[in-house]
Amino acid sequence: MVASPEGPVLILGATGRLGRALAKVYPRATRVGHELELTDEDAVRTAIEGIGPRLVYNCAALTDVDACEVEPERSMAVNGHAAGTVASACARCGATLIHISTDYVFAGDRKGYSEFDPPDPVNTYGRSKALGEMRVRSAGGDWRIVRTSRLFGPGENDFASQMRTRSLVKPYVPVIRDEWSRFTYIPELASRLPEVEWAPCGTYHLVNEGTVSWYGFARALIPNASPVAGGECRRRALRPRCSALLNTRLRPMRSWQEALSEYIRSEDEQVIR
Ligand SMILES: NC(=O)c1ccc[n+]([C@@H]2O[C@H](COP(=O)([O-])OP(=O)(O)OC[C@H]3O[C@@H](n4cnc5c(N)ncnc54)[C@H](OP(=O)(O)O)[C@@H]3O)[C@@H](O)[C@H]2O)c1
């Protein structure tokens, strides 16, 4: 089927953090979770061409950075090659693709990265996402790549909620002080993504403004965060030191402090209810 302007919006990875938030922005969207295995090329082609979407969001990915280090082939298959399969299917049926990527495509050895800086990842997750970006660009369709970082949102099991939980049961919560990036509030990101459809084909950065370390963010959220060096933590994958994404192409999002205030209000309201 060829996409028509009235064709549906299709969300891949619809059961994930960002996918669920996007489904609220597009209540009539066709949502597809892991029941469609993205490494199954024929299944992906048949599903996308059968739906004939106008617009496809690819939010599906293996996002556990340390697990990707243990399973590099699977990581490359899902985050890399499958992204290309989705992009080719979109190109064939004339659908616009918005592919979600990450700050971890960068090594993190400078203060910030613009949309035009070349990827130079330091771990398997970053390499697999950088491969996905390459495959999307070379598929020949109408694509946008949107990089984002450190997602947090209400009701999620994420860094923010883990900090709050640990803070209640431990006297001190050790948090890494020497890795910086840009935290991004999921509902705000989801509400800003639709405008990317109308932007020219290319790569974009959508993150809350302001660079902060894991520790700096945690300290704004809990009273008993305790700074530690990343080198003291046992993790399989290397991490970029400062992978701050600079948004030079789109209207800026709010500061992370404003977004965090909204997050705290929203979480506290849930507790009161
Ligand atoms: N989370 C972050 O902090 C962060 C930071 C920067 C960029 N990003 C990017 O943002 C996007 C969304 O991230 P997220 O945090 O929303 O991810 P998430 O919560 O981990 O969700 C990932 C989604 O992908 C699905 N999926 C995984 N492997 C699949 C496969 N082989 N075939 C089909 N579906 C598969 C998952 O389904 P199952 O759970 O059922 O397997 C789930 O629906 C990703 O591209 C990620 O790289 C995320």
Predicted local distance difference test score (pLDDT) of residue 94: 96
**What's the predicted TM-score (pTM) here?**
0.97
Per-residue pLDDT for 2 more than 80? no
Q: In terms of domains, do 230 and 188 share one? A: no
Q: In terms of domains, do 48 and 83 share one? A: yes
Residue 1 in any domain: the answer is no
Q: In terms of domains, do 171 and 190 share one? A: no
Q: How many residues does the chain have?
A: 273
Per-residue pLDDT for 156 more than 90? no
Q: In terms of domains, do 203 and 226 share one? A: no
Q: In terms of domains, do 106 and 232 share one? A: no
Residues 6+ apart with CB under 8 A from 136: 83, 84, 86, 87, 97, 99, 143, 145
Q: In terms of domains, do 130 and 58 share one? A: yes
Q: In terms of domains, do 45 and 164 share one? A: no
Residue 49 in any domain: the answer is yes
With a Cβ cut-off of 6 Å, ligand 1 is lined by: 13, 15-19, 33-34, 36-39, 59-63, 78, 100, 102, 129, 148-151
Residue 17 in any domain: the answer is yes
18 CA to centre of own chain:
7
Number of the ligand 1 atom closest to the C-alpha atom of 64: 20
Question: Which residue do the tokens 């922005």 mark?
Answer: 25
Question: What would the pLDDT profile of 195-204 be if each residue is shown by its tens digit?
Answer: 999 999 999 9
Number of the ligand 1 atom closest to the C-alpha atom of 99: 45
Cα separation, 261 vs 168, whole angstroms: 19
Helix (H, G, I), strand (E, B) or coil at 118: coil
Domain count of the chain?
2
- Centre of ligand 1 from the C-alpha of residue 17, in Å: 7
Q: Residue 134 corresponds to which tokens in the numbers above?
A: 């390459």
- Centre of ligand 1 from the C-alpha of residue 211, in Å: 23
Q: In terms of domains, do 232 and 168 share one? A: yes
Q: In terms of domains, do 166 and 113 share one? A: no
Question: Which residue do the tokens 């490494």 mark?
Answer: 39
Supply the residue whose CA is at minimum distance from atom 26 of ligand 1.
60
CATH classification of the domain holding 49: 3.40.50.720
Q: In terms of domains, do 125 and 190 share one? A: yes
Catalytic residue annotation: 125
Q: In terms of domains, do 221 and 115 share one? A: no
- Which whole number is the average pLDDT over 16-45? 98
Per-residue pLDDT for 3 more than 80? no
Domain that holds residue 219: 159-179+212-237+260-272
Q: For residue 84, what are the β-bridge partners?
A: none
Q: In terms of domains, do 103 and 224 share one? A: no
